[in-house]
Amino acid sequence: MLFVKKAPAQKRTEFRAALKSGKLLRFPGAFSPLIAMLIERQGFEGVYVSGAALSADLGLPDIGLTTLPEVATRGGAIARATDLPALIDADTGFGEALNVARTIQMLEDAGLCGCHLEDQVNSKRCGHLDNKSLVTSQTMVEKIRAAVGARRDKNFLIMARTDARASEGLEGAMARAKSYVDAGADAIFPEALADEGEFEKFREAIKVPLLANMTEFGKSKLLTAKQLSDLGINIVIYPVTTLRLAMKAVEDGLAVLKKAGTQASLLKEMQTRAELYELLRYEDYTKFDKDVFNFKL
C-alpha cells in the first residue's frame, strides 16, 4: 500500500508505451493482491485479473454470476498492490451498452489500466468450453463504441475479445475483430485459437495489438514466450496458472495434515513467515510508524 509509487495514470501511460515497444508483455493472473506483489517481484511486465479465477475464488463457476461491484472491488485491490499495469476481464460488460459505459468508468476509478469485453451472450462461459453463444457483431460494436465514449483517460485500454473461432471459424473471427477495431477497440483478444498458424493469420489480418491466452487444459496449444514473440503477439496472459498451482498445493497439504495429524513435514514446502513479511515490506513500514515492526523473527 504505502510503497506503490505509480499512480494509475502513469501506469496506463507506461502500458501504452510498452505495447508499442514490439516486446511481448507477460501478464500472469493474480487472484489476490499478494499474488500481484509476487508477480512484480518475479519480474513480469504486468498483472492479469481473470474473471474465471475471480469467480472460482468466490466459489462460483465462470458463467457470468459475478457482479460489476465484485469485479471492480477485487480488481482495484489487486491493481493498487503493484506498480505493474493490471488488465482485467470485464466479461460481457455486465449488460448492454449503457451498462458497459458504467463498467468502464468504474474500472477506471478502481485503478485498472485496461479491460477486455467479449462478444458472448450472457450468461457467458469459459472461452475454452464448447457451445458458446455470441451476440451479433453489431451488438458488440455498439458495446465497444459505448466503452470508448465512456472512458475519461484516453490511455485506458479497451480490448475486444472475440469467441467466434469455434462457431464461425477463423475467417469469421477475423471479420468480427476487424469490425471491433473499426468501432474503436485498441486491441484484440482472439480467444481459443488452436495453434501457431492461426495466431499468424490473425496477426496478418489485424493491425492493433493482439493478446494470446495461454491457459492450461484449454483448446490452444501452449506456446512459449519466444514463439509468441516471433509471431508478433503483444501480450500473453496466464490467467488461472497461479490459482491452479495454489489449489493443488493446498489440496496436497491438507491431505498430509489429515493423514499425519501435523503439518511438520510440509514446512519445507511453505513460504516462511520471514519471506512473507519481506514480500509485504513489514520493515519498511517503520518509516511511518516505529511501533509496527519492533520485533525480531
213 is catalytic: yes
- Clarify whether 118 is annotated catalytic: yes
Q: Which of 12, 26, 74, 126 is catalytic?
A: 126
From the candidates 161, 163, 165, 238, which is the catalytic residue?
161
Residue 225, H or E segment = helix 225-230
14 catalytic? Reply is no
Catalytic residue among 45, 191, 198, 234: 191
Which one of 16, 116, 125, 151 is the catalytic residue? 116
CA-nearest of 196, 200, 195, 136 to 164 is 136
Residue closest to 217 by CA, chosen among 133, 287, 140, 129: 129
Question: How many angstroms separate the CA atoms of 295 and 291, rounded?
Answer: 9
163 catalytic per annotation: no
Q: Is 48 noted as a catalytic residue in this protein?
A: yes
Q: Is 234 designated active site? A: no
Q: What pairs with residue 213 in β-bridges?
A: 237
Catalytic residue of the set 45, 91, 163, 198: 91
Please say whether the beta carbons of 11 and 33 come within 8 A: no
Which entry of 26, 40, 45, 62 is annotated as an active-site residue? Answer: 62
Catalytic residue among 40, 118, 186, 198: 118
Cell numbers for 158, please give them: 479497451
Residue 209: which H helix or E strand, with range? none
Cα distance between residue 262 and residue 240, in whole Å: 30
Tell me the C-alpha distance between 9 and 22, whole Å: 22
**SS3 (DSSP) at 49:** strand
Catalytic residue among 40, 45, 89, 198: 89
Rounded CA-CA distance 90/160 in Å is 10
Catalytic residue among 12, 16, 48, 180: 48
Concerning whether 91 is annotated as a catalytic residue, the answer is: yes
Q: What is the β-pairing status of strands 47-49 and 86-89?
A: parallel
Q: Say whether 273 is catalytic.
A: no
Which H/E stretch holds residue 188? strand 187-190
| Annotation says 62 is catalytic | yes
Q: Tell me the three state secondary structure of residue 27.
A: strand
Which residue type, as a one-letter code, is found at position 34?
A: L
Distance CA 283, CA 264 (A): 28
List residues with catalytic annotation.
48, 62, 89, 91, 116, 118, 126, 161, 191, 213
